[in-house]
Amino acid sequence: MTSIPAGIAAQQALTQQAIALETVKKSAEADQAIANLLADAVDNVPKGSRGSVVNITA
């Protein structure tokens, strides 16, 4: 088995780390976009008059 020079191995490790970090960042951005979409959907639900007062003593 042949080993690669330390400099190349270090560069390869840094590249892999950068790719992993970018993947995590994109995933977090996608999660935030979904959360924003859901928050907007909840905010746009029409508010009805029924059920606004609940009698919990009944």
CA dist 42 to 4, 27, 29, 39, Å? 55, 23, 20, 5
Q: Where are the alpha helices (DSSP H) in 1-58?
A: 6-43
Separation of alpha carbons 24 and 31, rounded Å? 10
Residuewise pLDDT in 10s, the chain (58 residues):
578 899 999 999 999 999 999 999 999 999 999 999 999 998 888 777 666 677 778 6
